[in-house]
Amino acid sequence: RQRAMLRRGIRRVLPGRDRWHALQEYALGETNQEEFRLLRARDSAVSSVVAAHGAAPKTIDWAAWEGKISNKETLQCLKDFHAQQTALLDAVLKEDHVGAVKEQKAGWELFDDAVSSCEKSVEKSQTILRNGARALWISFQNPPVSLLSQSEWLDADQYWQAFVEKHHFYH
């Protein structure tokens, strides 16, 4: 009963399955459309199995597992982990999540700071993109290294002269 409540709560929060099914419109090409069709078929098969077994899950028969697992330390670790996870899920189910969300008044400053940080990152990314496009254009407009004359260098361009000489002779 509690696990069913948890599943229903998760379904309300997470986006619906039908929303990702609408992404099939963007599958281009025959192979992509076929893969998406197979994915939807597998999803419907899993959904039907889950719906068919809507009953409460069976409890673990630890006595049966004690006979099957020879390493008792491993079995004890499994039992302890299961008990810990069950206690954690039970504690989560007991909490009033709707009330906690409604009581949340503070913390929006952090959200606003994150939004402004993201906006600054987008601006910086756009600057990097513009500079990269300029660099590509300049690089494309430059003549190939084999056509450069080594006698036309200024003394200040010794670094680039060495670069051109190296690439001209070794590549």
Kindly state the greatest CA–CA separation across the chain. Answer: 89
Position 169 pLDDT exceeds 70: no
Q: For the whole model, what pTM was predicted?
A: 0.34
Instruction: Specify the pLDDT at position 16.
Output: 56
Contact 98, 5 (CB under 8 A): no
Q: Is the pLDDT of residue 117 over 60?
A: yes
Q: At residue 132, does pLDDT exceed 80?
A: yes
pLDDT value at 130 more than 80: yes
Average pLDDT over residues 117-122: 95
Query: CA-CA distance, 87 to 89, in Å (whole number)?
Result: 6
pLDDT, tens only, 33-60: 888 888 888 888 888 887 777 677 778 8
Question: What's the full length of the chain, in residues?
Answer: 171
Per residue in 59-113, pLDDT tens?
Answer: 889 999 998 989 999 999 999 999 999 999 889 888 888 888 788 777 778 888 9
The pLDDT, as a whole number, for residue 127 is 92
For residues 86 and 105, give the distance between their C-alpha atoms in angstroms, rounded to a whole number.
31
User: Which long-range CB contacts under 8 A does 85-93 form with residues at least 24 apart?
Assistant: 89/2, 89/3, 89/6, 90/2, 92/6, 93/2, 93/5, 93/6
What is the model's pLDDT at position 108? 79
Q: What is the pLDDT of residue 97?
A: 82
